[in-house]
Amino acid sequence: MLNQINYSKYKGLRCIILESSKLRATILFENGCNLISLFNVKTGSEYLYSFTSKQAFHEKPYIYGNPLLFPPNRLKEGRLKTSEHCLHLPQNDPKNGRNHIHGILYDTKWEPVSHVRTSDKEILGMQYIHHEGVDTFHFFPFHFQVDILFSITVDTFDIEITIKNKGLSPIPLGFGYHTAFSIPFKNENYTEDTEYQISVPVTRKLELDDNGFMSGKSESINTKNTDENFLFNPFLHEFNGNLFHNDNLKVKTQENTVGILSIKNNEKLFYTVDAQFSYWVLWNKNNPLNSFLCIEPQTWAINAPNENNPVSYGYYELPFYKKWTAISQFSVEDHFFET
């Protein structure tokens, strides 16, 4: 029942809170349906990177929590070529002011449409409808509906997103999350004994030019075998929006899972996304306090619609009145080592 929704405020912004005996999820619904906080009440760990003030959030709403990217990442000079049109999106890229980044959903207002609470789960349904009356319709002229189901249990938080084409024209459908993890999990300063290990399910790094677009070159990620993820210490690696791809998803069934291990705190967070997300962007540059790492799953590569063979880079068009669905999950393990 909608009247049982737990409305609150998070650092001055209206939100909805979902809770289990271990996890507390905070969702900003007037600012992009953003999972802005995922907090472990048992260990005191905050898994997502958040803002310090409303002003900081409004300046860059796409770098906190888990913003929705539709379409994802960067489009050269704001162009988006489709089978029927050549669209021109706002040139809002702070890198050089000439490109478009992050799409149209990260700061939109959403409406709650369903809510269920049982003994072991709480589920919230949110909805956004894109039509002629919204500000972005004049440059993204498609009728569509987006529904998100958030569900929380003791150890998991699931996100199921469904996009339905409600118009007659096919919609260019590239989707991603600008998932920003809080590293370290706890509110503590980085020290030499702050040990973290991160694994990301990628096999190849795609080279980018100085403007952040694919150069056409790539290199394999060195792993011992094809089943092993890319492993690294986040405090020893700087990523400047680097683009990676998981070739293994094309040839076999494999979990598309990021693992973040806090060795000192005996805690691990898993982030599993749909196999449709075969591209990943990593970013933690300009992060002097070692406080975050963005690990961003995306269904298409940077600037995919404008490449010579866009389909080979994940480009897809959603036919009229068809649906597209993707599921992702955060899951936690704490105190899992044998003693």
Which one-letter amino acid corresponds to residue 4?
Q
Residue 23, both tokens: 């996890």
Reply yes or no on whether the pLDDT at 315 is more than 50.
Answer: yes
Distance CA(50)–CA(150), nearest Å, equals 19
Distance CA(10)–CA(19), nearest Å, equals 15
Spell out the domains of the chain, with CATH numbers in brackets.
Answer: 2-334 (2.70.98.10)
Q: How far apart are the first and last CA of the chain?
A: 44
**pLDDT, tens only, 258-284:** 999 998 888 999 999 999 999 999 998
**pLDDT, tens only, 121-135:** 999 999 999 999 999
Q: Which of 178, 184, 183, 231 is nearest to 203 (CA)?
A: 231
3-state secondary structure of 141: coil
**pLDDT, tens only, 91-119:** 998 877 899 999 999 999 999 999 999 98
CA 94 to chain centre: 19
Residue 74, both tokens: 């960067």
**pLDDT, tens only, 36-67:** 999 999 999 999 999 999 999 999 999 999 99
pLDDT of residue 195: 83
Give pTM, 2 decimals. 0.94
Q: What is the 8-class DSSP label of residue 103?
A: B
Q: Where are the alpha helices (DSSP H) in the chain?
A: 54-59
